[in-house]
Amino acid sequence: MSTTTSPPKKRLSNLDIVALCDGFPNSATHPSLYSERTSKLGYLVHGSHRLGYLLPSVCDALRNAAVSGPYWEINGKLFSIKGETEAERTANLKYTVDKWREIGLFKVLKGWRNELYPAYIPGRKGGEKVFDVERAACALFGLISYGVHLTAYVEDEQGLRIWVPRRSKTKSTYGGMLDNTVAGGISSGMGVMETVVKESMEEASIPEEVARQAKPVGCVSYFYVRSEKAGGEAGLFQPEVEYIYDLKLDASVIPQPLDGEVEEFYLWDVEKVKEELALGNFKPNCGVVLIDFFIRHGIITPDDEPNYIEICSRLHRRLEFPTR
């Protein structure tokens, strides 16, 4: 009796892992590819600021007032939401997105979260909020989203080990894949540490007094082009900024699933984490965060990584749009 076996997975290099997440051409390093890619896109704008790229399918929907409402100013490839105030723009955008969801225009809206994300332009005191929009719709407009990622680890006589969760197989996005210890998006009105504390308890049962010991160690930024595993249409745009935290734990704190988004936690040494990364078993942006962790902890060095400079640059990409 003959048997068949699945072909082995292609092993990913550290640069491959970063490229999975940072997949949109960079205007500085690949100007021809960037020009070719953006020539087919529309732009979401506010005043003189570009806020995001729009696929042709989204542009077509916005030009159709029957499905998007009378709330859009359109000038060729430039699209802006009407409204004199943040509240008016938020309400007008809500009408459009609610209508799209009602008629089932875009699959990504099946992942509706009832959670608002902000969009910003530069302001005198940092980012000035332009409007809020349903989280599930952000990728339709190519808006930058913000989140937190916390890596909890143990360092003892057995060496450095990392707490790694496996996402629930029932999740609509990246079901069954590996994740960072704690991760979550920053909703409109939420602070960064406030989000760390909230997600630490909800995802890993880490109490507030422990979560607040996490050290802020920078951020990573990248321009993700979504795959079908992200939920909804492939090819949607998801530029992101993730605030990064490290949390060194002792044996008395063991992360445990709480809200059903995680199946279980593993305490893995560095070599095991590297192996799972190389096999592509981590959610894409979690791979980026772990590469950043390895660089900061001297696990990946310029002497053993030939693409060190490119990796470091792409972990901290200067995004094309204003940030908060």
Q: CA-based angle 274:279:280, to the nearest 5?
A: 100
Handedness of CA 229, 182, 18, 225 (dihedral sign): positive
What's the CA gap between 131 and 89, in Å, rounded? 6
Query: What pTM did the predictor assign?
Result: 0.93
Delimit the domains of the chain by residue range: 41-141, 145-315
Position 6 scores a pLDDT of 52
Class of domain 145-315: alpha beta
pLDDT given at position 7: 54
Please give the pLDDT value at position 2. 44
Instruction: Fill in the amino acid letter for 128.
Output: E
What's residue 203's pLDDT? Answer: 94
Is there a common fold for 41-141 and 145-315? Answer: no
91's enclosing H/E stretch is helix 86-103
CATH topology for 41-141 is: Transcription Regulator spoIIAA (3.30.750)
Tens digit of pLDDT per residue, the chain (324 long)?
Answer: 444 555 557 899 999 999 999 999 999 999 999 999 999 999 999 999 999 999 999 999 999 999 999 999 999 999 999 999 999 999 999 999 999 999 999 999 999 999 999 999 987 667 899 999 999 999 999 999 999 999 999 999 999 999 999 999 888 789 999 999 999 999 999 999 999 999 999 999 999 999 999 999 999 999 999 998 899 999 999 999 999 999 999 988 999 999 888 999 999 999 999 999 999 999 999 999 999 999 999 999 999 999 999 999 999 999 999 998
Residue 170's pLDDT is: 86
**How far apart are the two ends of the chain, measured CA to CA in Å?**
62
Report the C-alpha gap between 55 and 67 in whole angstroms.
16
Q: How far is CA 166 from the centre of its chain?
A: 17
